[in-house]
């Protein structure tokens, strides 16, 4: 598809592959291509889970600073909308999304990973929000998604200091979910994604939407979101299949069609 972002589909898994040498810097073109890739995997019924991957060497070292350095306030005021749109598009993919992190995931690179549901990191990975060292703050969702993931104090520590965090610390604070040897990052992400490909696609979508939307509202509203999503699943084929299989064969044996 795009020059720097492509989608590869196989065995129910769609991989959004960043490929802009040397460091996968996220310029405006890459941001637009990520929006397009998110649209593609969202609309492809053969894709049941998604991996975002930057390759064996680096996930993404951040935004393209050369592109932004001389922008005026008026120019950045317009461009900042795109900065949030591309991570919002990734976060809105209604399927399980796993970020497979090798090397650096810094600034905008970490913000891409934060838009995923889960993060697998290599042992040598380094993550962080170093924007403060440039005299700015994260602008593609970092101040919001990071705080929601690891809590406000830890998010402020990372954002205020701009320091790089190794995979062990990232795992300990919940910034990443699994750490594996560097050479096994993509394989581990594929194995995890495979756990979802035979699942009930509409129920997975409902679960993701209920959790994400519920985090933004009070408990009573969140419970209503859950109730509506729960009831709606009784209009699906997978609900009938799952419950019938449970009654007749016991748990864990249903074969879902994704309808």
Domains of the chain, by residue range, sit at 5-197, 201-249
* Dihedral angle sign, alpha carbons of residues 198, 202, 203, 208: positive
Specify the CATH number of the domain 5-197: 3.90.226.10
What pLDDT does residue 19 have?
Answer: 95
Cβ–Cβ contacts within 10 Å for residue 139, how many? 19
Tokens of 236: 């699906």
User: How far is residue 94 CA from its own chain's centroid?
Assistant: 11
Cβ–Cβ contacts within 10 Å for residue 43, how many? 8
CATH of 201-249, one of 2.20.25.90, 1.10.12.10, 3.40.50.10210, 2.60.40.420: 1.10.12.10
Helical spans, DSSP H, in the chain? 28-43, 65-68, 73-91, 108-114, 142-150, 152-161, 167-172, 185-197, 201-214, 219-232, 237-249
What pLDDT does residue 244 have?
Answer: 92
From residue 131, alpha-carbon distances to 43, 70, 72, 83 in Å are 34, 16, 17, 14
CB proximity list for 25: less than 8 A, separation 6 or greater: 60, 61, 62, 63, 64, 65
pLDDT by 10-residue block (mean), the chain, 259 residues: 93 96 93 96 96 96 84 87 92 98 96 98 97 94 96 98 97 98 98 95 96 96 96 95 91 87
What pLDDT does residue 70 have?
Answer: 85
d(CA 67, CA 239): 49
d(CA 29, CA 39): 15
What amino acid positions are annotated as catalytic residues?
Answer: 111, 131
What pLDDT does residue 41 have?
Answer: 97
CB proximity list for 208: less than 8 A, separation 6 or greater: 94, 95, 96, 117
What pLDDT does residue 83 have?
Answer: 84
d(CA 106, CA 148): 18
What pLDDT does residue 82 have?
Answer: 83
From residue 167, alpha-carbon distances to 118, 144, 174, 230, 259 in Å are 14, 21, 10, 36, 38
């Amino acid at each position: 598809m795009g020059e720097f972002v492509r989608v590869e589909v196989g065995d129910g898994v769609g991989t959004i592959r960043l490929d802009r040498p040397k460091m996968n810097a996220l310029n405006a073109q890459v941001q637009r291509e990520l929006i397009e890739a998110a649209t593609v995997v969202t609309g492809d019924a053969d894709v049941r889970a998604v991996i975002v991957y930057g390759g064996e060497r680096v996930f993404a070292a951040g935004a393209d600073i050369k592109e932004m350095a001389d922008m005026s306030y008026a120019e950045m005021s317009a461009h900042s909308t795109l900065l949030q749109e591309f991570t919002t598009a990734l976060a809105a993919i209604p399927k399980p999304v796993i970020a497979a992190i090798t090397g650096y995931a810094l600034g905008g690179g970490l913000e891409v990973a934060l838009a995923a549901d889960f993060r697998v990191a290599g042992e040598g990975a380094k993550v962080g929000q170093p924007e403060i060292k440039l005299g700015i703050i994260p602008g593609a969702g970092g101040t919001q998604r990071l705080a929601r993931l690891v809590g406000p104090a830890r998010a402020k520590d990372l954002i205020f200091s701009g320091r790089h965090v190794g995979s062990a610390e990232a795992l300990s604070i919940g910034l990443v979910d699994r750490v594996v040897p560097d050479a096994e990052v993509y394989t581990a992400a594929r194995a995890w994604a495979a756990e979802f490909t035979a699942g009930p696609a509409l129920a997975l979508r409902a679960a993701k939407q209920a959790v994400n939307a519920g985090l933004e509202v009070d408990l009573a509203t969140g419970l209503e979101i859950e109730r509506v999503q729960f009831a709606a699943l009784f209009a699906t084929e997978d609900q009938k299949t799952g419950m019938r299989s449970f009654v007749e064969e016991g748990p864990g044996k249903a074969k879902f069609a994704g309808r």
